[in-house]
Amino acid sequence: MTLLVWLGVFVIGGVGAMLRFIVDREISRRSAGALPMGTLVVNISGALLLGFFAGLAFSPHVALLAGTAFCGSFTTFSTWMFETQRMAEERQNRAAIANIVVSVVLGLGAAWLGQTLGASL
């Protein structure tokens, strides 16, 4: 792996993390409800994009930059789990279970759709 690829991971990962912050904040600001919509939107759109990239069958270095650096820093498993755990602690059990089910079902569907779209190009 070259220094240029490592630099690309650093820069593209930073862009993904900043974009996650912006999207999450804007969605959360505009929505009210039991589910953390900002995290949900970020993770579902990231799954769609990662599936799309997988469908395109990038070279290993491009896949590292697009998939791991960008999508990995854009999506957030840890925030999703923390928010779900917090809902359960607050006895919002239905919301916690809904957060898990909705995220998994929509995430898998988005990844499949993205991969299908990417492979069709």
- DSSP string for 3-68: HHHHHHHHHHHHHHHHHHHHHHHHHHHH--SSS-HHHHHHHHHHHHHHHHHHHHT--HHHHIIIII
Q: Whose structure tokens read 């820093």?
A: 73
Run of H or E residues at 64: none
Residue 114 assigned to a binding site: no
Report the distance separating Cα 48 and Cα 39, nearest Å: 14
Residue 72 assigned to a binding site: yes
Q: 16 to each of 10, 59, 74, 96, how far by Cα in Å?
A: 10, 20, 4, 26
Annotated binding site: 72, 75
Annotated binding site for Na(+): 72, 75
